[in-house]
A = this chain, B = another copy of it.
Amino acid sequence: MSLPHAILTALLEKPSSGLELTRRFDRSIGYFWSATHQQIYRELGRLEGDGLIRTLPSEKPARGRRKEYEVLPAGREELARWAAEPQAPRTVRDPLLLRLRAAAVVGGVGLEDELRRHLELHRAQLAEYDAIERRDFPPAPDRPREDRLRHIVLRAGIELETFWTTWLTGALDELAGAPDQAGTAP
């Protein structure tokens, strides 16, 4: 149950229309919680129905007409409640790891190419995060707590991408010495 809270966070940072939210979920927020416009519109409807957000009264609402939302006090309270609530860490569920394990059983042809492709993608993402860090968080003493929190989240992204690049590099090295023999399993 995180999408509604992701939307509340985004709307508190800045009141927005559905399409603007969708764009923001392709960038900053989307770096750790992605969502499509269909999900977002569905959830905006629910949040409004639950009295956690409302549309800014501007023009008459109609199908093709822009609607801007803002968070109501009840929405802010719900977000604070959720953020403080104890939750279990997310269990890992990664198809790439599963595919490596499958390759150990059925023999992986073309697997190394796929690992190289992922390595390039993760390198590119890491470069993007590094640029954001240089731009938004230059070295400075005594930052306000909000900025520290945002920086900590960005650091998670940077360190995660660093993990992937070093791990993939190591995996390719390790496999370089072992020729593929497809279908050796019983």
* Copies of this polypeptide in the complex: 2
CB-CB under 8 A for A101 and B181, given A86-B117, A117-B86, A157-B92: no
On whether the beta carbons of A150 and B83 are closer than 8 Å, the reply is: no
Residues in B whose Cβ lies below 8 Å from that of A106: 12, 76, 79-80, 83
CB distance from A82 to the nearest CB of B (A): 7
CB distance from A153 to the nearest CB of B (A): 5
On whether the beta carbons of B103 and A149 are closer than 8 Å, the reply is: yes
A136 proximal to B (CB < 8 A): no
CB-CB under 8 A for A80 and B95, given A121-B89, A122-B89, A145-B175: no
Interface residues of A in 2-28 (CB under 8 A from B): 2, 5-6, 8-9, 12-13
Interface residues of A in 72-114 (CB under 8 A from B): 76, 79-80, 82-84, 86-87, 89-111, 114
Central interface residue in A102, A110, A146, by most chain B CB within 10 Å: A102
Instruction: Of the listed stretches A41-49, A52-60, A61-69, A166-174, name the one at the interface; the rest are far from the partner chain.
Output: A166-174
* A residues contacting the other copy or chain, number (CB 8 A): 82
CB distance from A40 to the nearest CB of B (A): 15
A38 proximal to B (CB < 8 A): no
Instruction: Report the 10 A-B pairs with minimum CB-CB distance, sorted nearest first.
Output: A104-B149, A32-B97, A145-B178, A80-B106, A83-B102, A104-B146, A83-B99, A9-B102, A12-B105, A152-B171
- 21 A-B pairs whose Cβ atoms sit less than 8 Å apart in the complex: A5-B98, A32-B101, A76-B106, A80-B107, A80-B109, A83-B108, A84-B110, A86-B117, A89-B122, A90-B93, A97-B153, A108-B149, A145-B181, A148-B175, A151-B174, A152-B174, A152-B175, A155-B170, A155-B171, A156-B167, A163-B163
